[in-house]
Amino acid sequence: MAQMIFVNLPVKDLETAKAFWTELGFSFNPEFTDENAACLVISDTIFAMLLTEPFFKNFTKKEVADASTTTETIIALSADSRARVDELVDKALAAGGSPANDPQEMGDAMYSRSFQDPDHHIWEVVWMDLEAMRAAQG
C-alpha cells in the first residue's frame, strides 16, 4: 500500500468549506465524511480532513490557531503547468478564497501563487520545471 498523508484542518463551517473545495473541482470521500468531518481528496494518496473546530479540538491539548491572525501551516500543492497554477488560484479566489502572498517566479523553472481558503488556511500552488532547475544549478 502506498503511503498516504492526511492533513487535518479545523474549519468554522463544514458546509462552507465543502462548497469552496467543490467549486475548485475537488471531491470528498464519503466513507470519511459526516457532520463533523469531510475527507477532501487531493490525489490518490493525499487528503485533507476538514474537521469542525469542536471535533478538531478532540485531537489536541493545545489551543487551535486562529488562521485569520496566525499562520499555522502553508500547504503546497504541485501543478503540472503555469496555466494550472493560475486556473486553480483564480477558481479559489472566485469561490470565496482570498489572496495570500504575491506570485513568485524563479526564472523559467518555478512559478507559484497562493490563496487562503474560507478558514484562512494558506494554500500555495506550485509549478516546477525540474530539468530547468537542475540546469540552472549547473
Which CATH number goes with the domain that contains 2? 3.10.180.10
This prediction's pTM: 0.89
Q: Which domain holds residue 41?
A: 1-61
* Residue spans of alpha helices (H) in 29-129: 53-56, 82-94
Instruction: Give CA–CA dist 51/44, Å, rounded.
Output: 20
Residue 83: exposure state from Cβ atoms within 10 A (0-12, 13-18, ≥19): exposed
User: Quick one: 53 and 31 in the same domain?
Assistant: yes
- Residue 138 pLDDT: 67
Together in a domain, 20 and 41: yes
Same domain as 77, residue 124: yes
pLDDT digits 0-9 by tens, 11-32: 999 999 999 999 999 999 999 9
Please count the residues of the chain.
138
If asked whether residues 77 and 52 sit together in one domain, one would say no
Q: Would you state the pLDDT for residue 134?
A: 74
Would you say residue 69 has pLDDT above 80? yes
Query: pLDDT-based confidence at 135, cuts 50/70/90?
Result: confident
Q: Which residue, 28, 44, 61, sits at the end of a domain?
A: 61
Higher pLDDT residue, 63 or 134?
63
Same domain, 56 and 87: no
Q: Which domain-ending residue is among 39, 61, 83?
A: 61
How far apart are the C-alpha atoms of 72 and 130, rounded to whole Å?
28
